[in-house]
Amino acid sequence: MIAQGISGLMRPLLSGLKVSKTHFVYFCEATEQNCLRSKQMSRRGFSSTCKLQDSHGELSSADSVTVHFINRDGERLTTTAKEGESLLEVVVNQNLAIDGFGACEGTLACSTCHLIFEKDAFQKLDAISDEEMDMLDLAYGLTETSRLGCQVRIKKLMDGLTVQVPVEVSDIRSQLEVGKQSKQ
């Protein structure tokens, strides 16, 4: 369906270019399959973030790291993560119920994955980049131990890590939802 629409729009352009029809058809089919797959994936809160990584089976206890998230309402969410995953990927892949978390899907364009670390855990994290610092400037409830979850990668030494999700989040999507509801 989408591929047919794209094909119809692109036909005049393709006639003037030396593009293989086979490659174009493959692109259209792949686009349509990705659209269908994204509609089938789970969604969280008011975020449309699809799973960022495919999980390949269960983690063995030797490969897993336990992470605890203290949600905005004080609820403790405990999950396991793979070494190398970002904390944002952990939230998305484990489908944790943290509303509005990761609006930009880890592209360093927002601060919705803002997390507060315990001091000793914070000191063990890799250095913070200038880009992350710029985004943290936009975060509500900023502390000395704040980091963006999309920039912190899980390491084996983090087993048992506890992070706090700030009570408030700077997310324009929530303001847009309120605006839509008030117009109705």
Q: Is residue 16 part of a domain?
A: no
- What whole-number distance in Å separates Cα of residue 133 and Cα of residue 142? 11
Average pLDDT, rounded, for the chain: 74
Q: What percent of the chain has pLDDT over 90?
A: 53
pLDDT band at 58 (very low <50, low <70, confident <90, very high): low
Torsion-angle region of 160 (φ positive above 0: left; ψ -120 to 50: alpha; else: beta) = left
Q: Model pTM greater than 0.75?
A: no
Q: What are phi and psi of 177, to 5 degrees?
A: -60, -45
Q: Is residue 70 part of a domain?
A: yes
Taking CA 82 as the corner, what is the angle to CA 108 and CA 129, rounded to the nearest 5 degrees? 25
Q: Is residue 155 part of a domain?
A: yes
Domain count, the chain: 1
Query: Which residue's structure tokens are 């899980």?
Result: 154
Residue 83's CATH number: 3.10.20.30
pLDDT digits (tens, 9 = 90+) for 90-113: 999 999 999 889 999 999 999 999
* Mean pLDDT of the 18-43 span: 40
What single-letter DSSP state applies at residue 78? Answer: E
